[in-house]
Amino acid sequence: MGERLGNTATSGAPVQQGGPLMWARALADLLTLSRLIGGVAIALIPWEKTISSLGKLIKYNLLLWSTDAVDGRIARHSQTPASWIGERDVLVDSALTLGTGVALARSGYIPGKLLLAWLGAMLVLYAVRPVTTLVLTFMFPLQLSLPVLAFVHGCPEIRLYIAWVALIAFVSRKRLKYVIEVFINGLPDRLSEWVWSWLPDWLRLTPEERGSFEESSIVDTGSLQTEDSGLSL
């Protein structure tokens, strides 16, 4: 979700001084597109229920998700409006997540029927309430299942996974807090108020941090409304 979650338009946002860098926009889009291609490839690659196969899946995931940590930064550096693929960044990320789930199902680590039921349920809910919160909800258990399975089966790559997550969480901690904020704001009103009532301050955006997003034209101010599904990163 390096550049965008949801479908809030930013094409009308003012461009920073210095002129657009089309090569940077193209590079950012290629990095985003690589996650889509990688998600499809992961779903199609033959997998076995072995520790080595699980470790390979972890390495592929870390490689592809690393592009998510940089494509948004490159896109902002380009000083260009959000592209078509950039506006659909969250759908690309969910496709990669689904590809990982399919790989785990094909290798026998999770039931294929359970994956299909989860996908169907989330699609129905999203059709009724198209908010980013539901996309993140769909992705979370599938992403969590990979390190959990690696830990349970003693896969040595779990150490690499933990180190990578810690590094990304530290480097992109402001963005992480922003994702948390948008996720909570997409919940039903009462549930959202309850979560805000106990969420610690260190997981909340400060006014300065929120302002940095707005000043960089990263996010449309309307995207923080519950009924909107957009998030630019």
pLDDT at 215 over 90: no
What pLDDT sits at residue 18? 61
Q: What is the pTM of this model?
A: 0.80
Q: How many CA atoms lie within 13 A of 31 on its CB side?
A: 21
pLDDT at 231 over 60: no
Work out the mean pLDDT of the chain and round it to a whole number. Answer: 84
What pLDDT sits at residue 78? 78
Residue 81's pLDDT band, with cuts at 50, 70 and 90, is confident
What pLDDT sits at residue 124? 97
For residue range 181-211, list pLDDT tens digits in order.
989 999 999 999 999 999 999 999 998 887 7
CB 182 within 8 A of CB 5: yes
User: Among 229, 208, 207, 233, which residue's Cα sits nearest to residue 218?
Assistant: 233
